Amino acid sequence: MPVTVLLPGVLRAIADGQAKLEVQAPAPATLADVLDAVSERYPALGRRLRDESRGLRRYVNFYVDGEECRYLGGADAPVAADAEIQVIPSVAGG
C-alpha cells in the first residue's frame, strides 16, 4: 500500500534531495513497517530516524496523518493506505 513520508530540509540531502518519499508498505502497516521501507531505500536516513535497536529516536517526531505517533502507539502506530507521515526533528538550544 502506498504511504507518503514528508522530510524536513535537514534530512533531504540523505534522501537524494527529496522532500516527499512515496513508499510501499505491507497492509496492514505500522510506522515501523514504513520506516523499514524508507531504510531499505535510504539506509543513512533510516539510521537518522531510528536507533541501533530500531526504536524511534527521541529527538525525532513522527506524525501519522497529523497525529503525534507517541499517542498512537509509537513505532506500532497503525498506518492506513495513502497515509502521510511527517518527520520533524526536535529543535533545542538557546
The answer as to whether 58 is a domain residue is yes
Asked if the structure places residue 75 within a domain, the reply is yes
Q: Which residue range forms the structural domain that includes residue 7?
A: 2-89
Domain-located, residue 94 = no
pTM over 0.75? The answer is yes
Q: What is the pLDDT of residue 37?
A: 97
Q: How far is CA 66 from CA 47, 52, 70, 84, 93, in A?
A: 23, 27, 12, 8, 25
| 15 has pLDDT over 80 | yes
**Tell me: the pLDDT tens digits for 37-94?**
999 999 999 999 999 999 999 999 999 999 999 999 999 999 999 999 999 998 766 5
Looking at 7-83, which runs of residues are DSSP E strands?
A: 20-24, 29-30, 60-64, 67-68, 78-79
66: in domain: yes
pLDDT of amino acid 94 = 59
pLDDT of res. 4? 98
- CATH code for the domain of 12: 3.10.20.30
Burial class (CB in 10 A: 0-12, 13-18, 19+), 61: middle
User: Structurally, how many domains does the chain consist of?
Assistant: 1
